[in-house]
Amino acid sequence: MQEIIFTGVDLNQLLEKIGQLFENKLNSIAPQNKQNNQSKFITRKEVAKLLKITLPTLNEWTKLGWLQSYKIGTRVLYKEPEVIAAIDKLATYKFKKGGHHAA
């Protein structure tokens, strides 16, 4: 293993500089990971309010597969982007020609 000798550099300054480099690198990576891997979870009440439906209707829509729920501990949560996508999908079905609506 090769040795690297720093002259004229204080050990604390070197460690501080290394720490800053790591922090900058992590900060540049963290926002990308947060956007890609995490979706905001919202509660059943928030989903019902967003969709303007009752909680029993929300349960029924979940059972029908129109919405995907996630059980985390004792809580049932929904991913906000999936709920918004479901709203768009239901809105297109609701006003189809012929008077049939899925909502």
Q: CATH assignment of 41-94, given 3.40.720, 1.10.357, 1.10.10, 3.30.70? A: 1.10.10
Q: CB count, 10 Å around CB of 47?
A: 24
**33-45 confidence digits (pLDDT tens):** 555 556 789 999 9
* Amino acid code (one letter) for 35: Q
SS3 for 38-83, per residue?
Answer: CCCEEEHHHHHHHHCCCHHHHHHHHHHCCCCEEEECCEEEEEHHHH
Residue 79: how many CB atoms within 10 A of its CB?
18
> Domain residues of the chain, as ranges?
41-94
Q: What is the mean pLDDT of residues 6-32?
A: 77
Taking 70 as the threshold, does the pLDDT of residue 50 lie above it? yes
CA dist., res. 76 & res. 24, Å (int): 37
Tell me if the pTM is above 0.95: no
pLDDT given at position 92: 65
For range 65-88, the mean pLDDT: 89
